[in-house]
Structures are given as C-alpha cells and as structure tokens.
Amino acid sequence: MTTHEPGGRSAPLPDRDREDFRPEDRHHDDLSPQVRVSGARQLLALLPRLLGYHPDHSVVLVLTETSTTPGAPSSPARVVMSCRLDVPTVQELPALSAQLAPVLRRAVDGTPGIRLLHAFGHDLDEGPDGRPRPDLVAALHLALLRLADEAGAHLHDLLLVRDEGRSLLPVVADGEPVHPVPGWTGSPDPRDVPATADLVLRGRGALRSRTELVSLVRRRDPEAGRATAVALAVQDVGGPPPDVDEGLTLLTACVLQGHRPTPAERARITRVLRRRWARDALLARWLPELFPSHDLEGPGQVGDLVRRLPAWRPEEAAPALDRLLALVPQVPLEECAPLLTVSAMMAWGSGEGSIANETCAFALEVDPGYVMAQLLDRALQHGLRPPRADRSAGAASPGASPDRRPAA
C-alpha cells in the first residue's frame, strides 16, 4: 500500500503506478503502548510516529472509535487505523471512497461504537495567495465526507498542514466546517505534547521522510553481498545440504539476539530459506496466529522444529525487525526474496505498515513469482490486518484518548 508523489517532492517510488490509492496503513491494537492526546492538533504531532516517518505531500487519515455502551461512563477514543496516501488530484478524488471505504470498514471489524475520521492534508498545492487551492480543498472535503459515510464514520477533523508540520489551517473542526476558514496558524510543538515524549521513550522514532524509509529497506552492502555469494558458491558446489534446524537457529540468533553472522553463516541461512517449508516453520513460530504449526507441510519433525525455535517477542519487535532488515543487503540480490518476504511478514505483524509495504514490493521486484510475497501483497492492498490471539485490549488514541502500537 505505497504510493508517493512525483516530481518536485520526495523521490518517486517504483510502484507509483501500481494502484492509484494504495494507502500505507497501520492497525492499532493490543501491541501498542497507551498514551493520551487531546484533540486533532495534538494528534498531528503524533502522526510521524504513527507512520514511522514525517509525511509530506500526503493525505493522512486516522480512524478512531469510542464505546457507546449504554450506561457506561464516557471513555476515550482509541485509534483503530492510521493511513497515508499521496495527495490525489481533483480528478482522482471521486475514486477515494470506493478505494478506501472497505479498508476502513474492515479496520473496525464490525465492533459497536462511534467512529470518527480525522484527516490531515500535508502540502496541498497553493494558489497565488499562499492558501491551498479552493477547488482541491472543496473536492477533498467532499470526498472525505463520502468516505466517512460509506465507512460508517463521521468526518471529525480536516486540517491542512505545511512547513513540515509547523503550520496548519482548519477546514473541519469537531465535526463542523470552519467558516470563515482562517489563515495559517502555528501547530503544537511536538516537544510540548507529552504523548510524543512517551512514544520516543518507548522507541517509537520517525524517519525524516518516506524516501529515507525506502532507502533503509533497499540499501545494499556490495562487499558483504559478494562475500556471501562466494560462500554460497562454495557450499553449493561441494557442501552437504544445510541442516534446517541449525540454519533457522542461526537466523533467530542473528535477529533476536544480535549475533553478527559470518559470510558462511549468511550462506547457510540463505540456503535454508530456499526451502519454503523451512521459511513456513520460522513464520509458524514468529506469527503463530497466522501460521498454525499443525497446518505446515514438510518433514515429520517440522512441529518439533517450530517448538525449538525462540519466539518473536512483541515488546522487542523494533530492534528485531531492524536486525532482520540489516541481513538483507548482506545477501546477493537474487537470493533476497525469502528474507525480504519474512521481513515484510514480520513488519506487517508488528504494525509497521510502511515497512511491510515497501519490503513486500521489493521482494516482488526481486522475484515476481514468489507466492508468499504475492499473498501478502494482496492482503496489504486490501488493508487486512494479521490475526491476533486476543484483541480485547484497547489501542491507540487521539482527541483526549490513548495511543497504542499498530498491527498493519
């Protein structure tokens, strides 16, 4: 679900033309830490940490939900999903509702409550007077009203943003159009929003741009890649078939414990992941709700292998995902599809929707026929969330509410 803006903005991405509205989304659930923010202006300060980077030339949507249990005290809203897409043209906006309403409806899973849609338009085209073009603003407002209606939500806020988030202009506030629309005003300094500091302390950083995120996923280490290629050639010529148990144990040591593999160890990991049943065994341990071990196809001892592997700990997902992605550039590009797909699956399961989208797209560039990447790509396009063993806990929050970590 990645698109980005062409020409004169952030660098265009290779998948720009794959689908007009393919949002990067993050579903917020019980993996996320609770923090509280008050109103859409404070929520704006959290957006970079909800997305993982500072958005520009984008429309960012945040869907929240609050309980309507009769007789219950009022409760804070929870963030159900955050989503980013390129600023559409006026001609593209009529398609917004058809593309995104199903994604938003799936995000709430039919649970009761009042759903509010908060929209932030970053860096919309401006007219000679320095204000966003009226035709674009009007078309965006109308498209968001239709989207909210079809998703069973209410458009609560539409804030226009520029100057890297430092200036804002309200178009809709607290569910009502703002008349007359004022001029640009200052936005809250993230340092003055306690929730931002809470997320920083919990390791929720934000890259400067999506371009930086793309560079992170697509980086290469030519020297390490060549060393791994040599080790692979040596093993492929005369070495015995790699022991799957040993190879997956080595991979988990690198990802979960910080072990730095030698070229020969990277070659063993690469050879093991060529076996799709071995990849599935790893995912069955790391994403058990999605890959039950009793459904795996492979040798008779595959269930025992799954149980011997260390588990992926949600509270340590960020450094583990960093280490997993760091292995990719050290492997020859033509061998990267399995590692990239595992990385994309774990990013998706950990709520890192932007990373999941870009990593999955990269895997399909390396190997367009890689079936697991194709399946994940479809799930991402349709805004599906990975299954959770228990979703009873709340998730993230805005306008006087909690924020929790995603599961996109």
Per-residue pLDDT at 401? 30
Q: Is the pTM of this model over 0.85?
A: no
Strand partners of residue 66:
114
Which residues fall within 8 angstroms of residue 255, CB to CB, at 6 or more apart? 320, 323, 324, 327
Cα–chain center distance at 353: 1
Per-residue pLDDT at 16? 29
The token pair at 149 is 């209606």
The token pair at 202 is 């919990």
Strand partners of residue 155:
117
CA-wise closest residue to 79 among 55, 41, 46: 46
Determine the longest span between alpha carbons in the chain, in angstroms. Answer: 77
Please give the average pLDDT of every successive group of 10 residues along the chain, which has 408 residues. 29 32 49 61 82 89 76 65 88 90 78 86 90 93 95 93 89 91 82 67 71 91 96 84 89 95 95 92 89 66 83 89 95 96 93 88 96 93 70 35 30
Per-residue pLDDT at 141? 96
Per-residue pLDDT at 298? 60
CA-wise closest residue to 116 among 87, 137, 144: 144
CB 213 within 8 A of CB 358: yes
The token pair at 105 is 């409806």
Per-residue pLDDT at 123? 93
Please classify residue 235 by burial: count the beta carbons closer than 10 Å to its beta carbon, then call 0-12 exposed, 13-18 middle and 19+ buried.
Answer: middle
